[in-house]
Amino acid sequence: MTNTEERKPLPSPRVARRRDWMPSLVWFIPIIAALVGITLVAHILMQRGPEIVLTFKTAEGLEAGKTAVKYKDVQIGIVDGLRLSRDRSHVRVSVQLNKDAEAFTAKDTRYWVVRPRLDTSGISGLGTLLSGAYIGVDAGTDEATAEEFAGLEVPPIVTRDASGRQFLLRANDIGSLDVGSPVYYRRVKVGQVAAYELDKDGKGVTLRVFVNAPYEKFVEANTRFWHASGLDMQVNASGLTLRTQSLATILLGGIAFGTPDLGTPSASPAALENTAFALAEDEAAAMKQKDGSSETMLLFFNQSLRGLSPGAPVDFRGVVIGEVKSIGVEFDRDEREFRMPVLIQIYPDRLRRQSTDESKESRYTQKQRLQFLINKGLRAQLRPGNLLTGQVYVALDFFPKLPPVKVELNKQPFELPTVPNSLDELQAQIKDIATKLNKVPFDEIGKDLRTALATLNKTLISAEELTRTLNNDVSPEITAAMKDARKTINSAEQTLSQDSPLQQDMREAMREITRAAGSVRVLTDYLERHPESLLRGKPEEKK
């Protein structure tokens, strides 16, 4: 190569622009991440539903970003934030609902915190021991919506999706009942107490009970409700009565209901929703038939009323026709003695026979019928009803042997004659016997008895001395005589034995006697045939 060639300048390069520009592969990763983020944000914004605020007294068990909101165990939202109210009286819980949970913003929707609980309705929320607390929802039906709700501190007993009917019960007091107390029909649990509140006038309590389907059809227009709480134990003149529904009612209380059997097929329709019923104290009071009009009567007793109390039954031959209203004491100035007035209330319809023809009426008035019964011997008498408790009751019965008594029929209240009971007569007889016994001279009898006992004691001492003398003196001689007697008996036994000579001689003698008797018999026969032989002798026999 020459120097000239070495100095020759190089041609300048030609720059050509590429038509297809491709970025570096490094930019693909942030681009894809941005696209995914935008997609997720868009998805979240599209799935995001309304935001609501719940207020609770405490935020126990709630955590922002973790605590779920569930309806029928399906998550419909999540707790977004927790903060105290300005007055620090409660907490405000922000809840973000899902897009498909917009219906849960209805104004009557109810929210509560599901935690492990032990109350009258049982044990609930045990699943939250592992998964943690969550917020439960009862969907509302109101068309109006709201953004803030007051949360329930206690889960509702009955939710709106439950199948059944709600009824109202009016009572004087709530007793041992509480929200969640069971409702029984024929000892089968068919519902529970949903709520209760005090009446506005403060004279009673209104309870709301929910009867589950299909048992709500057993609640009819004439159905009766009563307290089935604890042990229904009554001790009265009829004895001891004990009733209970189940072990749960003994501890937690409960309500039972039933329809009275009127003897005809039940044609009463099922009760409508929110029908009001009266809540009786017990089953007997609930099933009590309507008694109609009542009659008040006054009784006067000349005996102790111990064991008789207001509410005691008035009985007619085993049928309770009324009850005692009041008892008292008054002084009769004319007779100069104390009398015990007893006011009773009876229900004649309990004894009146139902007539098939209601148009027929008795031609006698009520007062005339009473006078007729009194003339037949109708009287009132106190009788013991329970020997264990000493309680007594008033019995109406007929005593035909008693003379008729004229009563004032126009007097109010009507005065019914009485007779003393058999127990008082027995006490009077015992008193007479005791009086007679007091007249017996027990002191003189005791003195005579002591004298007789002293004499008897001396006689016993003499007998003891005589026995001792007999043992010492007579006993040896008696022993010797017994030995001689034993020897005599032995000799007699030997003499009378079969192989003894005396027995043989006696047998020979008996044989001779037998032969002699035979000869006498032959002679007698001969003399009967020949009586002349006694004079002539026996003729000689011809040869």
- DSSP secondary structure letters along 184-197: EETTEEEEEEEEEE
pLDDT at 355: 43
* Omega within 30 of 0 (cis) for the link into 9: no
Q: Nearest CA to 127 among 68, 58, 182?
A: 68
pLDDT at 284: 78
pLDDT at 354: 47
- Residue found by looking up tokens 């009673």 in the block: 204
φ and ψ at 83, to 5 degrees?
-160, 155
Query: What does the domain layout of the chain look like in residue ranges?
Result: 44-150, 164-286, 295-351+364-435, 502-528
Q: Are 173 and 205 in contact (CB under 8 A)?
A: yes
- Residue found by looking up tokens 């024929």 in the block: 186
Residue ranges in the chain modelled with pLDDT below 70 = 1-10, 13-26, 42-47, 117-130, 230-252, 262-267, 290-292, 352-364, 366, 387, 422-429, 474-475, 494-498, 500, 502, 534, 536-543
The rounded distance, in Å, linking the Cα atoms of 69 and 98 is 10
Q: Are 408 and 429 in contact (CB under 8 A)?
A: no
Residue 409 CB-density burial (10 A; 0-12 exposed, 13-18 middle, 19+ buried): middle
Read off the DSSP letter of residue 473. I
pLDDT at 47: 64
φ and ψ at 2, to 5 degrees?
-95, 170
The rounded distance, in Å, linking the Cα atoms of 170 and 270 is 19
